[in-house]
Each structure stands twice: as C-alpha cells, then as structure tokens.
Structure 1
Amino acid sequence: MSDSTPPNPSPRIRVAGTGGLVVEFGSVVDSRLNRLVMALDARFQEAAWPGVIETVPTYRSLLVVFDPLVADRRALAQELATLAADVPIDEEPATRRWHVPVAYGGNFGEDLDHVAALHGLDPGEVIRQHASVEYRVFMIGFAPGFAYLGGLTKALHTPRRLDPRQRIPAGSITVGGLQAAITSIEAPSGWHMLGRTPLRTFDLRRPDPFLFRPGDRVRFRPISEEEHARLSTLADMGVITADVEKLA
C-alpha cells in the first residue's frame, strides 16, 4: 500500500438472525468499499467454510448465510473478522465488461428531455455523457437481476421522481440520485427513464438466469429504434444481445 492510499476502514461484524453474519466496511456508496467487499467475498469463498449456504455482496457489506446446525457462529465471525482485517483491495476477483446496447429517448426514454432540461443540457449531451463512462455493478437487488450501477457522471446526478411510476418495462435504463440502473423485470420505479435495452438481464431460460454479477463493468452503446427492434427479436429467442469481454 502506498503512502497516498488511505487505510482500509475497520470492518464491523453484525449478527443477522440465527443463520447470518454481516461484515460492514462503511456506510456510504463508494467504489473502493465495494472492491473491498468483492475481495473479501473471493477470499472467503476460497476458505470453503463448512455449513455456509451463500454469500451476498452489497454496496459496502457482505452477508454470509449459514446453517447454524453445521457452522459455529462465533468461529465463523472470527474467521470473517480475520479475513476482513487485512484484505488487499487489489485482490478483487477477475470480472467482465459488458457493452450494453441502448435506444435512448422517445417511447424508450420518456424522461430524457426532462433530465436534460433539469441539468441545462440538450438530450444529445445527456446521451453522450451517460454512454461515455464505465459503470460498476455494485450489487444485484430489489428485483431478480436488477443491477445497481455506480459511476454515473456528476453532471447527471438527478433526484428521484416525485411521482413514482407503478410499472416501467424490463430493460429500462434509469438514473436516480448518484446512481444508474438496468431494470430486469417490469416493476415500480421512482427513477428517471433515459432509454431501454433489448438485453435480458434476467432470463429463466438460461442455466444461470442472472446475467450480471457484482463487480462487473458496464458500458452503454447507443442504438437506433430499428436496431432495438432487431435485437429484441434475437433476445426473445434467448440470444444475449450484448458483447462481453473478460477482465483480468
């Protein structure tokens, strides 16, 4: 660790019922904390602790679900505390970068013009800024396959809608606060819709229905409505309509 690198925050271990423990690294939405969570998850998975059912990484914490009849909670908590105390941030596991096609504006992005006006930008500049950065999947939550994305440019940080919609379509590309998101299924939302992707991020026909994993990177690629229609037809057939590259 260089002199300019801040020390890792002290982890806190919390009890989550009779079969859960939570390791917390802080209380903010931050890519550095999220990298620590992912590094701890990878290190703990290697330990293959008996009785552990699953781990759930979030923005800044790791939930460990275990069978209390098999795993001793105190011993497990001590193991987690030991691993978390010195987990190197550069130990994050290899991940992937997704290039996600998006049709912006019109019927696909009903809030694009509103968001542009709110920030004193034209809609084309909103699209350019939204598609010019790389996002990080902080966590999967709220709905199956719903991806919370960090990395939204500050110029597009937007308060959530005062009148949430009861339903928005699957594949909606949204912004809310300092985050972006990709909606996986039709669901309620108070976030602003900028566009829509034909990509199915949750599909029960696949061996693993969840396309994204925490730690994945995402870049958006603007497409036309015609291209969206073509790719939607392929997606209906089960084709994954996004390019992906593996990262070391």
Structure 2
Amino acid sequence: MFRVSLPKWRERGIIEQLLEGRSISTTNCFKLIAIDSGRTAVQTNRITHVYGPPKSGKTTLSANIALLLAQAGLQVAIISTERPIEIRMDSIIQSDDSLSDAFLENIFSTEEYSFKGLCQLLASGLDQIESSVDLLIIDSLTATYRQVANARSLTLLRKALAALQAMAFRKQKAILFTNQVSSRMDGLNTFRPVASATVRNYSDVTLRLVKKSNGQTELSFEDVNGIEEAVLPPLTIGAKGFEEFNSVFELVTNY
C-alpha cells in the first residue's frame, strides 16, 4: 500500500519521482520527549538505540513513533529486517480513529533480510535519501547480524553504524534502530544487547524495553555503560500499539 523499495533509491531520478508534487522541508528539526522524565527519546542529529527481548514492543514502539511523525508532516524511512513493520502500522491505523491511510504518504519502507545487503544499503544508499527523510528507522539493525556474528561481521556493523552517525550528525537527521538481547541466534536470551559495546558507543540515547510479569512493558533510559537513568510509566501493548503512547511521549517540532 505504501511500500517503496529503498534499493531503488540508487537508481537515477527515483527520489525526484517519489517526491514529485510534494512540498517537503529538508530542515525539519524535532524531538520526542518522555513527558514524565523530560528526557529526549528521539531527536534530530541523534542516534537512538532501542533494545529488549522478543515481544517486548520494539517494533510497536517504532511503529507508534513513525505514525506520530507522519501525522506531523515529517518524513520517515523504515528498513525492516524481520517481519515488515507496515503490518503493525496497518493494524494500528485500523484501530485508531485519529489516524488514516493518508499519513502513510509520509512513510517509505523496505525489507532487507541479509546482513551483507543491509550493510551495503547503509553504506551506499543513504546519501540519496537524506534530503527527503527526517527519521530513519531500522528494525532491527542486528537481527541478521546474529546469524553471522564474527569478527568480519562486527567490522561491517561498525561501518554501518559509522554511516548512520555521519547521516545523523552531518545531515541533521534522526536515527532509530532496534536491537536484540543475545549475541547469536542460538545464544542465551539475556538482557545484554547484541554487540553491546559497539552499539552503545555509536548511540546517543539507549532505551531498554522489558516485558513485566503483568504483561506491561517497562521502558527505561540507560547510559553508555548500561546504568539505568530513568524509568517511564508502564506501557500496555494493544490494538493501538502502546495504548499510553500519547500520554507518555510528546513531539516537539521546529524548536
């Protein structure tokens, strides 16, 4: 319905075709603030790292954020490496009367299921999307990395993160990527993020999601060493994504 193949951004003129007839500002600045703590979760010029175990709500949080920005007229690009995120966004839109399919005009998405392909896309395809995108979401950056976790793939991961860092800092874009909690596909499901030291060093904000025994999700801010800095009010995953999302987060634009 709204999918655009990101690899085609490498083709001559594809961005012009995508944006034909649209009026898009390339200097939008925004930040998503956690109201209770006053901390910034996602922001222009920053990289946000979201991690947690399966079913903790990483894709749901990404979908809620993408739709909130789309409502505000901001442009979002999404790369899915597992289940396509648009499936989750479609279900949220159908359940929320304040949302409509029209907002999807501001969202571009694709899937990339190999780690090598993802790294190539990030290394060679970012320059062509920077002028039209306010937020890039990668869900998940490390899902395919876990299948080939070794010294070479870690080097590729660092190069990919360096490309994202350059996009954020030099081109004034926001980046959000999700991450898992085990180092290999057959590893123990601990609460240490995949490639922990590497992803933390390249991230400005780290958010940890934990599914509690009562079914709710706890979201906390962590520093570069993994020390908890702030805990947000509990969140409940429902038909609208995180049901309390709009009361927990506030979007500020053109600040």
Normalization by structure 1: what TM-score?
0.27
Question: Which of the two has higher C-alpha Rg?
Answer: 1
| Structure with higher RCO (Cα < 8 A, 6+ apart) | 2
More strand by share: 1
More helix by share: 2
Normalization by structure 2: what TM-score?
0.26
